C-alpha cells in the first residue's frame, strides 16, 4: 500500500503542474483520491491483492492524464484523431474503459473474499453487472454536478463534443473493459489473492 500511495502522490503532483483547468482537475481526481484515502485508512483491516493495487495505480494515472489536460485535449491521442480524420480526441473512451477494467476486479475480490461468493458462472456476471452499474452512476454524478455548478457549460463538462451518444458509448466502453478484465485476468487475480493469503 505504501508503494501505491507514493505512486499516487507523484502522479498527482505531475498532473497538477500546469493543469489546463484546476476546477476540472479537482473534479476529475476527487473520486480517485477519495478511493485511495479509503484504501489507506482501511489497509490494516483489509488488504487487497498486489494485482489490485497495481491496477489502481494504472487507473489513477489515466485519471491524472485526463485531469491535467482535460479529456478532450489530451495530446496522447491527437495523432489517432488526425490519422483517422476523427472529429474528436477519444482519450475519454480510454478512461471509461479503465472505469470498467479496474473496478470489476476490485468488486470480484470483495465478492470472493468478503461476501464469499463462490467462483463459477454467476460470479463474472455479478461483477460485470456491478461494474456497469458503477459506470452508470458515474454518468449520473457528472450530470448532477453540471446541473448544480455549471448549468451553462453542460456539453463541455460532460465531454459530449458533438456526440449525442456519448453517455452510451462511455458505458459501453466500461462494459468492454469489465468483460475483458474478467476474461483475461481472473486466473492471475486468483493467484495474486493466493499469494496474499500465504503472506498473512
C-alpha dist (Å) from residue 31 to 6, 34, 38, 112, 179? 18, 5, 11, 24, 23
For 105-139, the pLDDT digits (tens) are 999 999 999 999 999 889 999 999 999 998 888 88
- Domain spans, the chain: 2-193
For 133-187, the pLDDT digits (tens) are 988 888 888 778 778 877 776 655 555 556 677 778 889 999 999 999 999 999 9
Q: In whole angstroms, what is the distance from residue 28 CA to residue 91 CA?
A: 14
Indicate the pTM of the whole model: 0.84
Three-class SS state of 99: helix
| 102 pLDDT above the threshold of 70 | yes
Amino acid at each position: 500500500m505504501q508503494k501505491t500511495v507514493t505512486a499516487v502522490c507523484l502522479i498527482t503532483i505531475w498532473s497538477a503542474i500546469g493543469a489546463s483547468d484546476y476546477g476540472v482537475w479537482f473534479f476529475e481526481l476527487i473520486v480517485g483520491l477519495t478511493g485511495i484515502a479509503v484504501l489507506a485508512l482501511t489497509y490494516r483491516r483489509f488488504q487487497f491483492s498486489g494485482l489490485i493495487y497495481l491496477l489502481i495505480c494504472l487507473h489513477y494515472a489515466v485519471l491524472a492524464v485526463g485531469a491535467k489536460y482535460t479529456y478532450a485535449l489530451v495530446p496522447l491521442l491527437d495523432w489517432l484523431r488526425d490519422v483517422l480524420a476523427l472529429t474528436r480526441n477519444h482519450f475519454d473512451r480510454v478512461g471509461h474503459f479503465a472505469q470498467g477494467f479496474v473496478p470489476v476486479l476490485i468488486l470480484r475480490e470483495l465478492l470472493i473474499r468478503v461476501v464469499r461468493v463462490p467462483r463459477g458462472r454467476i460470479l463474472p456476471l455479478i461483477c460485470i453487472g456491478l461494474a456497469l452499474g458503477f459506470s452508470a452512476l458515474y454518468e449520473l454524478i457528472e450530470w448532477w454536478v453540471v446541473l448544480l455548478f455549471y448549468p451553462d457549460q453542460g456539453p463541455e463538462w460532460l465531454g459530449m463534443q458533438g456526440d449525442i451518444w456519448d453517455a452510451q458509448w462511455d458505458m459501453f466502453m466500461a462494459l468492454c473493459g469489465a468483460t475483458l478484465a474478467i476474461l483475461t485476468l481472473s486466473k492471475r487475480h486468483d493467484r495474486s489473492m493466493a499469494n496474499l493469503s500465504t503472506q498473512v
